[in-house]
C-alpha cells in the first residue's frame, strides 16, 4: 500500500512538472492567435499553418544551412513579421468595410489555411519531416528524482524568455501601450490620436511571428512536422485562448499552463482520452464561464 501511494504521488508530481513545461510552450504557441484577435477581433484560422511553416523553416535551415534550431527561432521572426505586414495590407483592409467582418474573416482565413497547406504539400510533399534530437540539448533532465525529456525543457526554456520579451513589449513600451489601448477599445484609441491601422498591422506581423517561432520548437514537442497539422494546432491554440479569455494575454499564459497540466494528467491517468482535453476545456468554459478564466476587462494604464 505504501508503494502504491508513493507511485501515485510520483505520477502526480510528474504530470504537474511535465504539464507546466508543456503549458509554457503551448501558451507561447497560442499567444499570437490571441494578440491578433485582441487587436482586430479576427480569429486567424491559419494560425496553426503558420506554426507548421515555422517547423518547416527550422527543418530547411538545419539541413540546408546547418543552423541550430534554437537559433532558427530568432531567424524566422523578422521574415514572418515582414510576411505578416504584407498579408495584412493585402487582406485586412478589404474586410474593414464588411457588414459582418468577423464571419467574413473566418471564411477568408480558412481559405488562407487551405492555400498554405496545399502549397506546402506541393512544394515539400506530404511526408512528415523530423530534426535529429541531438540538434538541441538531448540529455534527460532529472528533477525531484524523476527524468524529463530534454526537449520539453528546451521548448519551455526557449518559450519563456520570448514570452517575457513579448510582455515587456506589450506593457513596457509606447507601442505596446498603444496596442493595449486598441485591444481595449479601438474607437477610443483612435479618438486620442492612436493610429489603429498601424498598430493593427504591426500586431498582425508580431502575431504571425509568435506562431512561426513556436513552430520551430513544435517540431520537437510534436515529434515532427507535416503540412496537414495546421488545423489541429489551431484548435488547440483556440481552446487555450478561449480557456484563458479572448483578448487577454495573461489569460493565454494561464490557459496554456492549465491546458498542459490537464493534458499531461490525462496522458498519465487516461491516455486514450488525452486528445479530447482541448475540446473539453472549450466546452466547459463556454458552459460555465463564457468570458474565460480572466474574462473581466482590465484597465489599460
**Element housing 151 (H / E):** helix 150-172
Residue listed under C-alpha cell 494528467:
265
Note whether residue 294 is domain-resident.
no
Angle at 186 between CA 185 and CA 192, to 5 degrees: 95
Note whether residue 161 is domain-resident.
yes
Q: Map residue 141 onto helix, strand or coil.
A: strand
Contacts of 245 (CB under 8 A, 6+ apart): 251, 252, 255, 291, 292, 293, 294, 295
pLDDT above 90 covers a percentage of the chain that reads 62
Banded model confidence at residue 278, pLDDT cuts 50, 70, 90: low
Note whether residue 167 is domain-resident.
yes
Mean pLDDT confidence for 132-157: 88
Note whether residue 299 is domain-resident.
no
Note whether residue 210 is domain-resident.
yes
Return d(Cα 125, Cα 276) in angstroms, integer: 29
Per-residue pLDDT of 49-79, as tens digits, reads 999 999 999 999 999 999 999 999 999 999 9
The answer on pLDDT for 292 being more than 50 is yes
Q: For the chain, how are helix, strand and coil distributed in percent, rounded to 5?
A: 75, 5, 20
Q: What is the DSSP string of 80-115?
A: HHHHHHHHHHHHGGGTTT-TTHHHHHHHHHHHHHHH
Mean pLDDT confidence for 189-211: 94
The answer on pLDDT for 6 being more than 80 is no
Note whether residue 297 is domain-resident.
no
- The reported pTM is 0.92
Structural domains in the chain (count): 1
pLDDT at residue 104, rounded to an integer: 86
Grid coordinates in use for 148?
A: 524529463
Banded model confidence at residue 2, pLDDT cuts 50, 70, 90: low
Q: Map residue 27 onto helix, strand or coil.
A: helix
Per-residue pLDDT of 96-138, as tens digits, reads 766 777 788 889 999 999 999 999 999 999 999 999 988 998 8
Sign, CA torsion 200/204/206/207: positive
Note whether residue 300 is domain-resident.
no
Note whether residue 219 is domain-resident.
yes
Return d(Cα 77, Cα 64) in angstroms, integer: 19
Return d(Cα 71, Cα 289) in angstroms, integer: 40
Is 74:91 a contact under the CB 8 Å cutoff?
A: no
- Specify the long-range contacts of residues 181-185, CB closer than 8 Å, at least 24 apart: 181/300, 182/39, 183/38, 183/39, 183/247, 183/300, 184/297, 184/299, 184/300
Residue 237 is part of which domain span?
A: 2-288
| CATH number of the structural domain spanning residue 131 | 1.10.3470
Banded model confidence at residue 141, pLDDT cuts 50, 70, 90: confident
Grid coordinates in use for 38?
A: 485582441
Amino acid at each position: 500500500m505504501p508503494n502504491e501511494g508513493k507511485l501515485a504521488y510520483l505520477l502526480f508530481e510528474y504530470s504537474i512538472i511535465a504539464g507546466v513545461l508543456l503549458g509554457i510552450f503551448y501558451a507561447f504557441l497560442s499567444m499570437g492567435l490571441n494578440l491578433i484577435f485582441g487587436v482586430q477581433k479576427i480569429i486567424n484560422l491559419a494560425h496553426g499553418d503558420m506554426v507548421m511553416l515555422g517547423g518547416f523553416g527550422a527543418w530547411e535551415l538545419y539541413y540546408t544551412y546547418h543552423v541550430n534550431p534554437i537559433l532558427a527561432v530568432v531567424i524566422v521572426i523578422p521574415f514572418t513579421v515582414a510576411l505578416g505586414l504584407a498579408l495584412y495590407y493585402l487582406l485586412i483592409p478589404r474586410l474593414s468595410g464588411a457588414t459582418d467582418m468577423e464571419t467574413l474573416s473566418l471564411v477568408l482565413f480558412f481559405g488562407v489555411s487551405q492555400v498554405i497547406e496545399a502549397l506546402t504539400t506541393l512544394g515539400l510533399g506530404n511526408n512528415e519531416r523530423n530534426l535529429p534530437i541531438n540538434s538541441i540539448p538531448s540529455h534527460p533532465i532529472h528533477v525531484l528524482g524523476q527524468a524529463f525529456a530534454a526537449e520539453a525543457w528546451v521548448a519551455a526554456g526557449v518559450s519563456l524568455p520570448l514570452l517575457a520579451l513579448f510582455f515587456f513589449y506589450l506593457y513596457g513600451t509606447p507601442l505596446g501601450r498603444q496596442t493595449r489601448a486598441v485591444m481595449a477599445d479601438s474607437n477610443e484609441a483612435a479618438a486620442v490620436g492612436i493610429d489603429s491601422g498601424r498598430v493593427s498591422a504591426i500586431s498582425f506581423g508580431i502575431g504571425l511571428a509568435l506562431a512561426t517561432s513556436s513552430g520551430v520548437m513544435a517540431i520537437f514537442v510534436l515529434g515532427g512536422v507535416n503540412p496537414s497539422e495546421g488545423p489541429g494546432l489551431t484548435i488547440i491554440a483556440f481552446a487555450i485562448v478561449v480557456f484563458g479569455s479572448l483578448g487577454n494575454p495573461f489569460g493565454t499564459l494561464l490557459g496554456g499552463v492549465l491546458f498542459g497540466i490537464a493534458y499531461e494528467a490525462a496522458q498519465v491517468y487516461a491516455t486514450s482520452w488525452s486528445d479530447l482535453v482541448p475540446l473539453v476545456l472549450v466546452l466547459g468554459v463556454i458552459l460555465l464561464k463564457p468570458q474565460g478564466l480572466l474574462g473581466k476587462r482590465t484597465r489599460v494604464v
